[in-house]
Amino acid sequence: MTTTQYRVIGSRPVRHDGADKVTGKAIYTADMKLPGMLSGFVLRSPHAHAKILSIDTSEAEAMPGVHAVVTGADFPNVEDKIADLGEGSVNLAYLSTNCMAQKKVLYRGHAVAAVAATDVHIAEEAAAKIKVEYEVLDSVTWVLDAMQDDAPLLHENLLTDSLGKKAETPSNIPVHMHFEKGDVAAGFAEADVIIEREFKTATVHQGYIEPHAVVADYNEDGRLRIWTATQGSFTCRQQTAEVLQIPLGNVLVTPCEIGGGFGGKITVYLEPTAALLSKKSGRPVRITMTRADVFEASGPTPGSYMRIKLGAKNDGTIVAGEAWLAYDAGAYPGGMIGPGCMCVFSCYDIEHAVVDGYDVCLNKPKTSAYRAPGATQVAFAVEQLVDELAEKLDMCALEIREKNAVKEGARRVDGPVYPPIGLEQCLDALKQSEHWNTPLEGPHRGRGIAAGFWFGCGLKSSAACTVNSDGTINLLEGSTDIGGSRTSIAMQLAEVLGLEAEDINPQVGDTDTAGYTDVTGGSRVTFATGMAAYEAGRDLQQQMKTLAAELWDCSAEEITVNEDGSFSGNGNQLGFKELASQLFAAGEHLVGRATVSPECPTNGFGAHIADVEVDPETGKVTILRYTTIQDAGKAIHPSYVEGQLQGGTVQGIGWALNEEYFFNDDDTMANADFLDYRVPTMLDVPMIETIIVETGNPDHPYGVRGVGETPIVPPPAALANAIYNATNTRMTELPMSPPKLWKAMQSDPSAD
């Protein structure tokens, strides 16, 4: 437990970009306007799976106002090269043909051509005049169907990879993973109670309110400037450069303010297309996706099929686990099966376990990360089985979790051993909470709990701080700010230097000015970029010690940086600002800098409590009360930590109760809008109570753990457990929407 008293850390200053964002001044990508800018429109496939026989763009090109048309033919041929994007890697041929289809379309919404015109309406009309001849193919959107031998093949040469070994015949299964720990057969033999169930979850979308948008300006000198809504400007630069086959240094990516991402704004979709339209037209081009495009053609997160078995002894010890997981990859390989497999048993210390996981291609948009990618699906399954074991063993749901919770030294199913972690502390906080200790009364009501985990990664971050003549600081960092991270990073710099948060002027740099920084994702920004800011502050202090030594006529070793950030030595003492001003006046100007690449997962654990009431006549679930508990290590800005917990929880609630991709008979999406893709409205959720546990992370100077992702993991499971306790009906399918819950209650004879 950290006990250090901080001045800035743990306080709640107003965010630095706040005034811009409440007055409408903040510039998001779609707000960008460059002289001569054209508007782009992307023509997309109406079919889920088809061969492109021909594309005729002549009529569109001839339309007044149209300046350029591009198709797959304008894209350079990229080989099957794997590009490392910092977090995860990508096959460039897949990335490129996902941006613009070449010979085949693999999902409804797949881009086939794009137009740039003086007005978006003209571009849209022109796109409608492009004649694409398709040969429609059989399609598949359910993961188990796609795994069948006779399923329509998306990629003719795709061979299943089992850790370096390729299958002999093509299929829709790019990857099979397998993990094993202990002796599973012996484990189940030891068990007194065994429960096995199948679970299904629907494809869901991150649902950020800002549609993808980009402005590209391809200069005559070959320099490409891009303004975009991205979670990672450097990753965006690399993907764009690789797809276009141009040098990295020719691309400048400027991240605009970004209207939500949650993992969905890492992959490029529009950037290469906008760049090529700009190159052809000689004018800057802006493209924004429509909301339907966002649903149909960006990257939702996998639907899944899971078969999971758990065995426990009479004393409640879970001794064996077995999981068979198949996750949608979408149209191209590379879904979230890896973390799914690694998270399935991540909360429990199970001696004997085996996991098989399959990444499966099917005719849906290529999936991408969504807050703790792959973990929510498995938590939905396992956390229900744990409750069932508890019920069979006549234990309390909390007790069985306390008994089996992972702690330092426990071995994960994929091998590594946990360092100090905070699941036990979260469960303890749950046990002590007012919510848990307040009985829930009334008919058709139930309470459920669930635990959750996400790794949280480190990766590369950079920060540079320039000292102004009055001792205030301009901080330049490279993490695109989606939720107030400028401030949580600046606060760490303020803390180390003995300044106030307001003394720091943080700025998110572009790829020409900021040091290399990986994506805003993986719960890493406050942890890793905060660490970079801290180190940049330390660098500054070292430089100031050397310079102060001259000023004070002593050696640098004689100068101490005190806890409040002041400097003392040789009988002198000055605060940071005062010393900085004196040094500036003496002709020195200072820039502190740091690059870090922490490689340790920050291991974020959480536990949630949900109270629900179920309408027995309609199957509609009302959430009466909800508490989210999480180990933040150390909360830098508690309001924004609470905000991450509350926001992630409500996304998890949406996933649990109503969100799903609904497909027509022809495998096209039937609900590509916010009307029928039902994210929670304000009226659908209660206040989300939060309890921040602070166990301190030994791998960070202030003890920070990543917090952003874990909160989405437990809600579907906590709500399923609550629904069971309210209705006696086990829901094994997401979403637990009214028609499904009502039907399940009808068919479950034990239900109330």
Binding to other proteins, residues 352-411 (CB under 8 A): 369-373
Q: Minimum Å distance from CB 209 to other proteins?
A: 4
Residue 265 or residue 401: which is nearer to other proteins going by CB?
Answer: 265
Q: Scanning residues 654 to 683, which ones bind other proteins (CB under 8 A)?
A: 657-658, 662, 670-671, 673-676, 678-683
Tell me if 23 contacts other proteins by CB under 8 A: yes
Q: Does 508 bind other proteins (CB under 8 A)?
A: no
Shortest approach of other proteins to residue 572 CB, angstroms?
39
Nearest approach in angstroms of CB 140 to other proteins is 19
Closest to other proteins by CB, 348 vs 418, is: 418
Binding residue (CB under 8 A) for other proteins from 28, 436, 516, 584: 28
- Does 263 bind other proteins (CB under 8 A)? Our answer is yes
3-state secondary structure 424-460: HHHHHHHHHCCCCCCCCCCCCEEEEEEEEEECCCCCC
* 349 part of the interface to other proteins, by CB under 8 A: no
CB of 463 to other proteins, least distance (A): 19
Half-sphere CA count of 327, side-chain side, radius 13 A: 33
**Cα–Cα–Cα angle for 26, 32, 37, rounded to 5 degrees:** 170
> Which residues, 109 to 148, sit near other proteins by CB under 8 A?
121-122
The yes or no reply on residue 747 touching other proteins (CB under 8 A) is no
What's the min distance (Å) between Cβ of 154 and other proteins? 19
| Contact positions with other proteins (CB under 8 A) in 320-339 | 338-339
Say if residue 749 is preceded by a cis peptide, omega within 30 of 0: no
Our CB check for other proteins shows the closer of 121 and 131 to be 121
Instruction: State how far the Cα of 275 lies from the Cα of 217, in Å rounded to an integer.
Output: 7
44 - beta bridge partners? 111
Q: How far apart are CA 67 and CA 115, in angstroms?
A: 8
Minimum distance of other proteins from residue 30's CB (angstroms):
7
Strand residues in 213-264 grouped as ranges (E): 213-218, 224-228, 251-255
- Identify whether the C-beta of residue 466 lies closer than 8 Å to the C-beta of residue 504: no
End-to-end CA separation in angstroms for the chain: 45
Site for other proteins in 616-635 (CB under 8 A): 617-618, 620
By CB under 8 A, residue 35 contacts other proteins: no
Instruction: Give Dmax over CA atoms of the chain in angstroms.
Output: 87
Pick the closer one to other proteins by CB: 3 or 157: 157
Using the rule CB under 8 A, is 341 a contact of other proteins? yes
Q: Does 495 bind other proteins (CB under 8 A)?
A: no
Identify the DSSP state of 28. Answer: B
**Residues 683-712 contacting other proteins, CB under 8 A:** 683-685, 687-688, 706, 708-709
Q: Which is nearer to other proteins, 276 or 609 (CB)?
A: 609
Judged by CB under 8 A, does residue 46 bind other proteins? no
Per DSSP, the residues of 143-188 read: HHHHTSTTSPPSSTT---EETTEEPSS--S--EEEEEEES-HHHHH
Going residue by residue from 421 to 460, which x/- string records binding to other proteins, judged by CB under 8 A?
---------------------------------xxxxxx-
Indicate left, alpha or beta for 471 from its phi (over 0: left) and psi (-120 to 50: alpha).
left
> Which region, judged by CB under 8 A, interacts with other proteins, from 52-60, 176-184, 189-197, 439-447?
176-184
Q: How far is the CB of 363 from other proteins (least distance, A)?
A: 18
Binding to other proteins (CB under 8 A) within 561-590 occurs at none
Taking the C-alpha atoms of residue 474 and residue 489, their distance in angstroms, rounded to an integer, is 12
DSSP 8-class letter at 401: H
Q: Which of 3, 54, 157, 164 binds other proteins (CB under 8 A)?
A: 164
3-state helix, strand, coil in the chain (%, to 5): 30, 25, 45
Residues 6 or more apart in contact with residue 655 via CB below 8 angstroms: 201, 204, 376, 712, 715, 716, 734, 735
**Binding mask of the shown chain, residues 715 to 744, with x at each position contacting other proteins by CB under 8 A:** ----------------------xxx--xx-
